[in-house]
A and B are shown apart, each in its own frame.
Chain A
Amino acid sequence: MASVNQLIGVSLGYVVFLFAVAFFAERAAVRGRRGWLGSPMVYTLSLSIYCTAWTFYGAVGYAARSGMEFVTIYLGPSLVMIGWWWILRKLVRIGRAQRATSVADLISARYGKSNLLAVVVTVMAVIGVTPYIALQLQSVTLSLSVFSGPVGENSFNQPGAAFWIAVGLALFTVLFGTRNLNANERHDGVVIAIAVEAVVKLVALMAVGIFVVWGIAGGIGPMMERIDASPIGEWNIDRSRWIALTALSAAAFLCLPRMFQVMVVENQDERHLQIASWAFPLYLLLMSLFVVPIAVIGLDLMPAGANPDLFVLTVPLAEGRVGLATLSFLGGFSSATSMVIVATLALATMVSNHVVMPLWLSMREEGATVSGDVRDVVILARRASILVIIGLGYLYYRFSGGGAALAAIGLISFVGVAQFLPSMLGGIFWRGATRSGALTGLIVGFAVWVYCSLLPSFGPGSIYSLSMFENGPWGIASLRPEALFGIAGLDPTVHAVVWSLTLNTFAFLVVSLLSFPGPLERLQGAQFVNVFDHSTQTRGWDAAFATSEDLMIMSQRILGSEEAQNLFRAEARRQGVRGHLPEPTQAFLQQLERELAASVGSATAHAMISQLVGGASVSVQDLMAVADESAQILEYSNRLEAKSAELSRTALKLREANEKLTALSVQKDAFLSQISHELRTPMTSIRSFTEILRDTEGLGHVEKNKYATIIHGETIRLTRLLDDLLDLSVLENGQVNLNVETGRLSDVLEQAVVTAQAAATGPVAIKRRHLDEAILLTTDLDRLSQVFINLITNAQKYCDASAPELTIDVRNVNGAVSVVFADNGTPIAVQSRAVIFEKFARIDDSEGSGAGLGLAICREIMTRLGGDIRYEPAATGNAFVVDLPAPEALAAQ
């Protein structure tokens, strides 16, 4: 048996080798000679950090416990890679176009660069991933302890080993993760080291597999027989678990911070994705190929109670193959370390960018200026974050007791990070998604996850009491953490996945629909959703032709001279160049573009810099992107303009309505004043003369008689006024019952003339013309007569000619009959003609007892009868024309 010390020696050697690989890769990258380092295969292999110690050791344990179900963990990512590579392509494109440095950065950028959102995602990621980091530490120490012999026989210090492993990992991550802060947050050294580790773990697992199949079982045939005989081989598929777990691992593949780091941030060329889309599933297939054989042989070979999670190590050891076991150990070590390094790097980026830096900047009184010391602070913050995160993982490992099965922690972690999915996918495919929606969805999903998955994972009696599981909090059964809303009987993982993601998505959708995105959210939403219309694939310049003077002039125009000078001076200082103009290095150009992009948009910024850098080599695509950006801004401003036009239209309508109301109110006031005047005037005379008659002694008989006659006349005037008012009110507003009869027009006219003359106040000669006996009318003849009488009476009252004369003429034009009442008085003033049919429209200088309601009543009657009445200035005098209702109109009545 190999001693632990030997093993530690091997591990150290391996780590030194990794350091060397990373160091040389980094050096090569800085010199711009990437060569095969930047190949799609390296990219594909770097994706293999998906396969952590959980997959390396845990898959076998998983298979030994639950049969074929472990396949789902490989199935999800494979489906994403093969079937959904276009989603990945969009993610990568957006990530690159937006220069996203992490999942938190991406989500926050999409929703209007909201730092609150970034902080929420960061916190969720840290809480979700820390147990996973602890799991890696645990797996390494566990595997070390296997070599130290049966537990308890010697003094192998597990926590101590975990501590030193944590320190080593932190060191590596600090060294290679924070060496330089370039625009893209790329880490060539780390990526290469991971790719190497990917190869090691694949080789190790396959070597153990091959040994098991050919060395122990004796070939494929016997192996298959043993598998068939074992319960593992039976495909006992719990469909809900399979679907949920496949979906979950697919979601986690997209959302895990470390996956985002290697897949998007470290991506050097979008085309690598095409190759990875088949190569990575192939890698997963190879990784899973020997899981079942190892598990089956392990169960057969090892004593009952042996930890199946460690079969990969214990089976070779049991067979005396120390070398193979050591290789296997290195595989597991690789899986664990690569995961910890990348996950820590990703989390540290988030923590320092979204938590530490904003805090630091807000604490500094001068606020944010771009200068060298900010850079130092960023690196310091990054390093501190790395130490804190690995420290958290170590603490979690120490205090969780390390007892839970590996796979359980992995799944819980997956469910946690899968909460990013709705906001992420919604953000890149749906322009209607809003910041509030994303925030609500994330918080709801995360809360459900903590409640239903994270806290219960510690088991009954730790955080939740047993009665909490059985009866729910405070005895509320519908809140039982593993049977939410009374839906019991589901597998806890399925339960947590379904509830957290459903409620998360639901909250995200509903709040997005209810809330209104801000301007920046709209612009970013368009950039994300339509990323393929707005960005080009790869960007980079040959710095040869750029002169710092030109760049400075351009930057001053966009950033303002002070900020531009600060930027250039700081860079010059950093480069150690004298004066204020730095060398136009690749890194500086990228930084400059980012600064400019904040002001003019990334496409424009890129086009501007590339024009200066590469002479006139602005590509058509670049120009299109500029146009797109301008178009978007234009579209936005157009929409604003349309909105404001709409608003002013509404305001105008409101103003018109208000004016109408005011006019109506004025009319009402005028009407009331008029009525008051018309009623009070006769009452004044009546009261005054009544008092005279009562109070005056010795009034003569003639005077008494005269005053009584006045009083009498005024009461009649009052009565008539009230009659008219009531009549008009009924005609205008009420139900008028027309008494329709048939009669001759000539008879109606004759009767009206007689009636009017009986009550005549002045002598008017009445002439009649064209009185055709044959014209028959079917209408309310009394009402018509009322109109005629009114017109005749008006002529009698107001015609001021010396020989007043009224001509009544019947016109018959093709059956349309009108009666014209023409007098020879002074024509009504032009400005008064328009209002004579209005209520109380007495013409100013007219005298007499009329209240000015007569013509208004006439018009109402004629409207009711289906005819019309209008004024025509006559050659000498005035004419009122009564258009009799047409026969059809009558029929319709």
Chain B
Amino acid sequence: MDKHVLLIEDEMNIIEAIRFLLSREGWQVDTHSDGLTAVDAIRQMRPNLVILDYMLPGKNGLDILTELREDGDFLELPVLMLTARGQSRDREMAEKAGVSRFMTKPFSNTEVVTAVRDLVQLAR
């Protein structure tokens, strides 16, 4: 199965929206809402793509990404980061930490779907 996405997000409504959008594209969407255990969840599920929220309970998205990239197995894993904080410094930090794509909330649905497609194609 190479269309497996792990959505790490704690807002129920946003999870609902993204699940709806990506399911229609043929993706298997798994979700995880806790920052502290997010990296473990990725290791366990081995998704093809991770959509990562920035503000999470326990540990923020940037730290999760950093930890992920320190693990050699996940250097190539596409990570789409979403943030509602809207500070330009966050984007710089995320890019430094090795994010694949960075998007600010609120996003357009087409944008997310296209980004996911692109990322997967690139990864292949």
| Chains A and B bind each other | yes
Residues of A within 8 A of B (CB): 669, 672-673, 676-677, 679-689, 691-692, 695-696, 710, 713-714, 844-845, 847
Q: Is the CB of B57 within 8 A of A680?
A: no
The answer to whether B120 has its CB under 8 Å from any CB of chain A is: no
The answer to whether B14 has its CB under 8 Å from any CB of chain A is: yes
Report which residue of B17, B18, B57 has the largest number of chain A beta carbons within 10 angstroms of its beta carbon.
B17
With the chains together, A632 CA to B24 CA distance in Å? 91
Q: Is the CB of A683 within 8 A of B87?
A: no
Q: Is the CB of B57 within 8 A of A691?
A: no
With the chains together, A672 CA to B86 CA distance in Å? 9
The answer to whether B73 has its CB under 8 Å from any CB of chain A is: no
Q: Closest CB-CB distance, B114 to chain A, in whole Å?
A: 13
The answer to whether B121 has its CB under 8 Å from any CB of chain A is: no
Q: Closest CB-CB distance, A460 to chain B, in whole Å?
A: 82
Q: Is the CB of A681 within 8 A of B11?
A: yes
The answer to whether B108 has its CB under 8 Å from any CB of chain A is: yes
Return chain B residues, CB-CB under 8 Å to A685.
11, 13-14, 16-17
The answer to whether B45 has its CB under 8 Å from any CB of chain A is: no
Return chain A residues, CB-CB under 8 Å to B85.
673, 676-677, 680
Q: Is the CB of B58 within 8 A of A710?
A: no
Return chain B residues, CB-CB under 8 Å to A696.
24
With the chains together, A30 CA to B56 CA distance in Å? 101
Return chain A residues, CB-CB under 8 Å to B10.
847
Assuming the contacts A692-B17, A714-B13, A845-B58, asked whether A677 and B84 have C-beta atoms less than 8 A apart, the reply is yes
- List 15 A-B pairs, Cβ < 8 Å: A676-B87, A677-B55, A680-B85, A680-B105, A682-B13, A684-B105, A684-B106, A685-B13, A688-B14, A688-B107, A689-B13, A695-B109, A844-B58, A845-B57, A847-B10
Q: Is the CB of B106 within 8 A of A686?
A: yes
Number of A-B contacts (CB under 8 A): 69
Partner of B84, one of A680, A845, A847: A680
Q: Is the CB of A691 within 8 A of B109?
A: yes
With the chains together, A532 CA to B44 CA distance in Å? 93
Overall SS of chain A's interface: helix
Q: Is the CB of B108 within 8 A of A691?
A: yes
With the chains together, A681 CA to B107 CA distance in Å? 10
Q: Is the CB of B109 within 8 A of A688?
A: yes
Q: Closest CB-CB distance, A831 to chain B, in whole Å?
A: 14
Q: Which residue of A lies closest to B89 (CB)?
A: A669
Q: Is the CB of B105 within 8 A of A683?
A: yes
Q: Which residue of A lies closest to B112 (CB)?
A: A688
Report which residue of A684, A695, A713, A847 has the largest number of chain B beta carbons within 10 angstroms of its beta carbon.
A684
The answer to whether B21 has its CB under 8 Å from any CB of chain A is: yes
Assuming the contacts A710-B13, A844-B57, asked whether A687 and B86 have C-beta atoms less than 8 A apart, the reply is no
Q: Closest CB-CB distance, B31 to chain A, in whole Å?
A: 14
Q: Closest CB-CB distance, B62 to chain A, in whole Å?
A: 12
- 17 more A-B residue pairs beyond the given contacts A676-B87, A688-B17, with a C-beta to C-beta distance below 8 A: A677-B55, A680-B86, A681-B11, A681-B105, A684-B14, A684-B17, A684-B105, A685-B13, A685-B14, A685-B16, A687-B106, A688-B107, A692-B17, A692-B109, A710-B16, A713-B13, A845-B57
Return chain B residues, CB-CB under 8 Å to A845.
57-58
Q: Is the CB of A680 within 8 A of B106?
A: yes
Q: Which residue of B lies closest to A714 (CB)?
A: B13
With the chains together, A844 CA to B105 CA distance in Å? 21
Assuming the contacts A683-B105, A684-B106, asked whether A676 and B84 have C-beta atoms less than 8 A apart, the reply is yes
Q: Quick one: which of B50-105 are within 8 Å of A by CB?
A: 55, 57-58, 84-87, 104-105
Return chain B residues, CB-CB under 8 Å to A684.
11, 14, 17, 84, 105-107
Q: Which residue of B lies closest to A845 (CB)?
A: B57
Return chain B residues, CB-CB under 8 Å to A692.
17, 20-21, 109
With the chains together, A684 CA to B57 CA distance in Å? 19
Q: Which residue of B lies closest to A681 (CB)?
A: B84
With the chains together, A247 CA to B108 CA distance in Å? 97
Report which residue of B20, B57, B86, B105 has the largest number of chain A beta carbons within 10 angstroms of its beta carbon.
B105
Report which residue of A676, A679, A695 has the largest number of chain B beta carbons within 10 angstroms of its beta carbon.
A676
With the chains together, A594 CA to B24 CA distance in Å? 103
Q: Closest CB-CB distance, A716 to chain B, in whole Å?
A: 13
Assuming the contacts A677-B55, A710-B16, A845-B57, asked whether A688 and B106 have C-beta atoms less than 8 A apart, the reply is yes
Return chain B residues, CB-CB under 8 Å to A677.
55, 84-85
With the chains together, A687 CA to B21 CA distance in Å? 13
Report which residue of B18, B24, B58, B106 has the largest number of chain A beta carbons within 10 angstroms of its beta carbon.
B106
Return chain A residues, CB-CB under 8 Å to B13.
682, 685, 689, 710, 713-714
Return chain A residues, CB-CB under 8 Å to B58.
844-845
Q: Is the CB of A681 within 8 A of B14?
A: yes
Assuming the contacts A673-B87, A677-B84, A710-B13, asked whether A687 and B107 have C-beta atoms less than 8 A apart, the reply is yes
Q: Is the CB of A676 within 8 A of B86?
A: yes
Q: Closest CB-CB distance, B39 to chain A, in whole Å?
A: 17
Return chain A residues, CB-CB under 8 Å to B108.
687, 691
Return chain B residues, CB-CB under 8 Å to A713.
13
Q: Quick one: which of B7-47 are within 8 Å of A by CB?
A: 10-11, 13-14, 16-18, 20-21, 24
